Structure 1
């Protein structure tokens, strides 16, 4: 589990296709360098989010670490586009003793998105994104959470009809701390929607199905009603 608070920006040192040297076997690997800050307490098998993608450390030294990348990960994320010299957002898995500054981020990417536009607004910038899978927009709400390349951001607006996307605003501080700020229009980012939305949809859908089948569970129904009320309080 992660918070979406990017700890540092690392640099891709090597992308190894068809790597057979790792314990994980035949697949791809990425070596990331210039990341001493997050390697002081690293262990083999630890999880690190690379551009918001939860991957496993298979080798490391004082400055570099290596992760294995499965074919499904390459299909779902922008990691397959990385080349030596590219910058990436990095975050270690959250520890129990730290403040939780962002939102619950699993590191399981839902889809990628294309940057549609970048508009300056004072010293901030508004980014519009169009997801490759537009179905995820049902989980994206104004002022809700979303993870873009692993960074926890607040949704400014959602347009499901024309742009088929959503926007976020990056303040000047955030622009210095995440890779998204330096990406151009047309570039690809990783998207993970708020887990709470997916869980809520599943429970509501199941409850509706039960109602249609005449199998309404009053206890579950009251739990869902309470959950919806609590969620609406936060949205307001």
Structure 2
């Protein structure tokens, strides 16, 4: 489990691809390696990855992670190039202050940066989600203004949501712009998206309660309510 509060910006120093996936070496990472062990989880741009090798000294500290093709397909990490910075966060400890929101670092999909606008020292960014498919349904039901979202692993607050166009916006204050890699990405770049896990559980539970685990249940509930209203109106007309 993670908080979405980015601890450090690391630098991709090596990318090795093969048919099975990709190996990344992330350097300049010493500040988050003090308590590191092989097998630990580190969120890289919001994707939970397992440390397979690390050293606290060379290149300011580095660690190695392996990305399966599923991870490359779900995230923006396959787009990254050597020399680019990535957001890093260690798994949350039970005794620390919790300041973000519950982030699993299981990326749901990617979105595209479509526009930016400076607002004083702050930066407003707008993103568009891809068209939903059968195996990747729309995430818009989980997005609400002032709700949580993790973008490249950073816990951010939604400032606006446009369901019909699959667009949402956030605002980065100056401090956040300096601490995460998002502000450095260009328009058209992809970002990793994880919606609020609490919203996922609530929506699934409500759908299951209304219709046995299918969204058809909501439709049947509405149809039943309409039938009841029509029946009551028919009854009233007959009495008159």
Matches within 5 A, 1:178-197: 178-197=180-199
State the TM-score, normalizing by the size of structure 1: 0.84
Q: Which runs of 4+ in 1 moved over 3 A?
A: 210-213
Deviations, residues 97-140 of structure 1 (Å, cap 9, x unaligned): 11111000000001101001001111101100101255101100
Length-normalised TM-score, structure 2? 0.83
Deviation digits for residues 68-93 of structure 1, max 9, x if unmatched? 10110000000111111011000000
Q: Which runs of 5+ in 1 are unaligned?
A: 20-25, 214-236
Structure 2 residue corresponding to 1:137, chosen from 117, 121, 140: 140
Match of 2:49 in 1: 55
In structure 2, the partner of 1:15 is 15
Tell me the number of residue pairs that the alignment of Structure 1 and Structure 2 aligns: 206
What's the offset of the Cα at 1:29? 0.8
Given that 1:53 and 1:109 are in contact with CA atoms closer than 8 Å, whether structure 2 keeps it comes out as yes
Quote how far apart the aligned CAs of 1:182 are.
Answer: 1.1
Q: 1:32 aligns with which of 7, 23, 26?
A: 26
Q: Quick one: distance in 1 between partners of 2:131 and 2:33?
A: 34
1: CA distance between counterparts of 2:188 and 2:33? 32
Higher radius of gyration, 1 or 2: 2
| Contact 2:21–2:72 (CA under 8 A) maintained in structure 1 | no
Q: 1:41 aligns with which of 18, 35, 46?
A: 35
Cα deviation for residue 184 of structure 1 reads 1.3
SS of 2:139's partner is helix
Secondary structure at 1:154 match in 2: strand
Pairs within 5 Å for 1:1-236:
1-18=1-18, 26-62=20-56, 63-134=61-132, 135-162=138-165, 164-210=166-212
Contact 1:111 1:133 in 2 (8 A): no
Please say if residues 3 and 103 of structure 1, whose CA atoms lie closer than 8 Å, have aligned partners that are also in contact: yes
Give the match for residue 135 of structure 2.
none
Q: Distance in 2 between matches of 1:42 and 1:6?
A: 16
Q: Structure 2: state its 5+ residue gaps.
A: 133-137, 218-240
Q: Residues of 1 paired with 2:128 and 2:212: CA distance?
A: 34
